[in-house]
Amino acid sequence: MFSGSIPALITPFTTGSVDEAAFRRLVDWQIAEGSAALVPCGTTGEAPTLSNDEQHRLFAVTVEAAAGRVPVIAGCGSNDTQTALWHMQEAKALGADAALMVAPYYNRPSQAGLLAHFSYLAEKVDLPIVLYNVPGRTVTDIKPETVAELARRFPDRIIGIKDASGDMTRLTAHRLALGPGFVQLCGNDDMALQYNAGGGVGCISVTANVAPRLCAEFQAASLAGDTARAHELNERLFPLHQALFTDASPGPVKYALTRVCDWLNEEVRLPLVACSTESRRAVDAGLAHAGLI
């Protein structure tokens, strides 16, 4: 259902408010540059600092601006099951194609709790779910056996995973349990080459915000089996992948965007702050290495 380069979109702010005009322009640019789908209101979109109204408005704006040209995977996750349900219901009503559902954070549910949480959501809303496993942020880890059980119970609902665990063995575990039709998307730009080689079909990407065409070309080469071209593009992008995490994300990628798009600023919401001088130097070097500045 989903493959290729899928940016986890930043949320532009201007003097504290969501800048809808800039966001629409970002969506248009991403599609023109070859992005295969769009994810609003994920971690890179600073979802934890968005109000519910802002989050739902961004779902609507993304769907409107995309206008059916690419799918929209709305970031709907929460550590409160009822809030996650509300986000999913709004995403469905507003025309999103799927929901990205992070493992509940802070309250640290067991595997049985994760099974109950995601099962409840799958039963309540007719919207495909892409699980999002990022234990470095949530502490909770969606184990392969839990992923497999959910996908077996709800084959038309639990359709894939964004895996940012860093554990490459998960690819084979998921494929053995669920077959190649289960959508496996990398959650770490710097591991996307190896991830696709192991059976992944794309990446939900931070770097694609600022280098959408290069990321789309990399994914196309990788998925087509053009190993030489995929390695060439990966090596061109790799310093930028790393630079974008030299400070708290999305500070570095918002700074990077100001270097290539004169219609965006680097404003973030507290508790995040603008990235450090050292991070800016790394980002500038990564952009230069990629040929973007």
For the annotated catalytic residues, the residue numbers are 132, 162
Q: Quickly list DSSP for 209-239.
A: GT-HHHHHHHHHHHHTT-HHHHHHHHHHHHH
> What gap in Å lies between CA 88 and CA 173, rounded to an integer?
28
Residue with tokens 């109000």: 51
Of 128, 196, 259, give the one whose Cα is nearest residue 215.
Answer: 196
Structural Rg of the chain based on CA atoms: 18
Neighbours of 292 (CB within 10 A): 17
Which residue in this structure is represented by tokens 């690819």?
171
Q: What is the distance between the alpha carbons of residues 220 and 255, in angstroms, rounded to a whole number?
A: 27
Q: State the DSSP H helix or E strand holding residue 85, giving kind and residue range, or none if neither.
A: helix 81-94
CA-based nearest residue to 48, from 274, 269, 246 = 269
- Rounded Cα–Cα distance for residues 171 and 23 (Å): 33
Chain centroid offset of residue 277 CA: 26
239-to-130, 144, 156, 177, 260 alpha-carbon distances in Å = 28, 31, 38, 35, 17
